């Protein structure tokens, strides 16, 4: 383990603590990519690596903010697209910002809305949801013949509300205004999300459009920060480029060095279309090109093998709806894999969901009770299952961080993944 001296806190909001000797190393520098650190925000520090639960509409579905905190969450992420449509970012602003509005006392993130504009507003939800599953829909042999029918132009995006069909416009400036009104500690630049079904030519066009939008986001962010006289919000640029190494590296170089009138990105989101088996490789390409003194957030992952691959390649924080989404369908995470608590074998099982788990659900309720609650379609079933799944995911990443810092990472990884994917219930419920 190489330990770096802790520098004084900087305006970037990130402090590097340690670097991981094992795992991926930068090809250009030979330095390890995996690291631990601290992201500093006006509402508290985030020890990294860290998992950030998703509260899309200013709520982690079915769970009180106090219970999200009790589960160990250091921060939560909400969505600009959804909160813009309902209740309106101006209402959240008048309430005192996202944290105050949802009664969350810690750090908050908002994403730019770009993903939802495409997946909901442009009708690509199914394609996007299957890209990361390894299902084969994103086969590159199909991609060259496919062009996306999205309402995108060089200035921004037109989209229809999934709530009532009204037409709306998002531009970099509008996204920045919305996110400033939402008041999250960390916000993201507006980008054009592509899919693996888009051609190489379209990926290049979209990447250049995203680069130009990033410049406009920096300019708008600086202006709004000066006008609003609020605590500073860190702006993360989003790295796109799909599965192409040269495009990913170019995007990271462009955004990593970008500065407009003295304003630069405070960190970076790694997003867009990628195949699961290439996750670590792609994150590594990006991390090699990005500055080390700023945070890196990987958007939309929550499976144990993905955490290890991404951490080794240099990612710092993660978010995903999956722990809460599968919980509402009775799928429970355990060290031995995922299982469905509605199975008949749990009808008279009066033990906790996971032995030795210290979450609120496992210390107060049995498998038999959750089996009953789901079968009876009681709302408490979603609440209790979500508490457990969020706790499991948050604490898995916490334990990864601890193992990185105490020199037991390799052994912890082998034990954790070997047990999870060889468990009695297998990989998926």
Residues with catalytic roles: 111, 319
- The count of C-alpha atoms lying within 13 angstroms of the C-alpha of 182, restricted to the half-sphere facing its C-beta, is 34
Cβ within 8 Å of residue 377, ≥6 positions away: none
Task: Please give the Cα distance from 365 to 352 (Å, whole number).
Answer: 6
- Cα 332 off chain centre by: 20
Task: Please give the Cα distance from 81 to 239 (Å, whole number).
Answer: 19
Task: Please give the Cα distance from 288 to 313 (Å, whole number).
Answer: 9
H or E element: which one contains 258?
none
Task: Please give the Cα distance from 178 to 172 (Å, whole number).
Answer: 10
Q: Which two tokens stand for residue 198?
A: 């888009």
Q: Which two tokens stand for residue 100?
A: 């105050």
Distances (CA, A) of 166 to 73, 160, 162, 169, 192: 35, 5, 8, 10, 21
Task: Please give the Cα distance from 84 to 23 (Å, whole number).
Answer: 40
Q: Are 281 and 266 in contact (CB under 8 A)?
A: no
Task: Please give the Cα distance from 247 to 200 (Å, whole number).
Answer: 10
Task: Using the CB atoms, write b or e for 324-337: b if 16+ within 10 Å.
Answer: bebbbebbbbbbeb
Instruction: Report whether the peptide linkage leading into residue 49 is cis, meaning its omega lies within 30 degrees of zero.
Output: yes
Q: Which two tokens stand for residue 42?
A: 């006006």
DSSP for 175-243, please give it: HHHHHHHHT-SEEE-------TTS-HHHHHHHHHHHHHHHHHHHHHHHHHHHHH--SPPEEEEEE--TT
β-bridge pairing 259-260 and 263-264: antiparallel
């Amino acid at each position: 383990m190489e330990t770096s001296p802790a520098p004084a806190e900087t305006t970037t909001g990130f402090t590097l603590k340690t670097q991981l000797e094992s795992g991926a190393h930068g090809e250009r520098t030979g330095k390890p990519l995996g690291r631990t650190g601290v992201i500093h925000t006006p509402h508290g520090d985030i020890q990294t690596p860290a998992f950030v639960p998703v509260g899309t509409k200013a709520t982690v579905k079915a769970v009180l903010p106090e219970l999200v905190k009790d589960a160990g969450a250091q921060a939560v992420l909400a969505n600009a697209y959804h909160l813009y449509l309902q209740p309106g970012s101006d209402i959240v602003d008048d309430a005192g910002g996202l944290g105050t509005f949802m009664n969350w006392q810690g750090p908050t993130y908002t994403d730019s809305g770009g993903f939802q504009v495409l997946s909901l507003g442009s009708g690509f939800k199914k394609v996007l949801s299957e890209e990361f599953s390894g299902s084969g829909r994103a086969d590159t042999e199909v991609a060259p013949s496919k062009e996306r029918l999205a309402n995108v132009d060089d200035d921004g995006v037109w989209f229809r509300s999934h709530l009532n069909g009204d037409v709306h416009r998002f531009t970099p400036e509008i996204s920045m205004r919305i996110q400033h009104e939402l008041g999250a500690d960390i916000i993201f630049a507006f980008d054009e999300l592509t899919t693996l079904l888009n051609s190489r030519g379209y990926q290049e066009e979209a990447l250049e459009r995203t680069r130009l939008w990033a410049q406009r986001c920096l300019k708008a962010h600086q202006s709004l920060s000066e006008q609003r006289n609020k605590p500073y919000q860190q702006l993360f640029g989003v790295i796109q480029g799909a599965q192409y190494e040269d495009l990913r590296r170019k995007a990271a170089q462009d955004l990593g060095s970008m500065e407009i009138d003295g304003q630069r990105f405070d960190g970076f989101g790694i997003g867009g279309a990628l195949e699961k088996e290439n996750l670590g490789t792609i994150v590594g390409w990006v991390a090699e090109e990005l500055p080390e003194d700023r945070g890196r957030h990987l958007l939309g992952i929550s499976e144990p093998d993905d955490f290890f691959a991404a951490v080794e390649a240099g990612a710092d924080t993660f978010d995903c709806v999956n722990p809460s989404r599968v919980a509402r369908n009775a799928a429970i995470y355990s060290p031995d894999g995922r299982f469905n608590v509605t199975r008949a074998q749990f009808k008279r099982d009066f033990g906790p969901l996971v032995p030795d788990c210290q979450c609120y659900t496992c210390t107060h309720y049995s498998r038999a009770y959750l089996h009953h609650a789901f079968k009876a379609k009681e709302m408490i079933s979603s609440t209790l299952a979500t508490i457990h799944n969020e706790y499991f995911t948050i604490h898995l990443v916490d334990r990864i961080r601890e193992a990185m810092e105490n020199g037991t990472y390799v052994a912890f990884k082998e034990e954790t993944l070997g047990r999870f994917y060889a468990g009695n219930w297998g990989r998926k419920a």
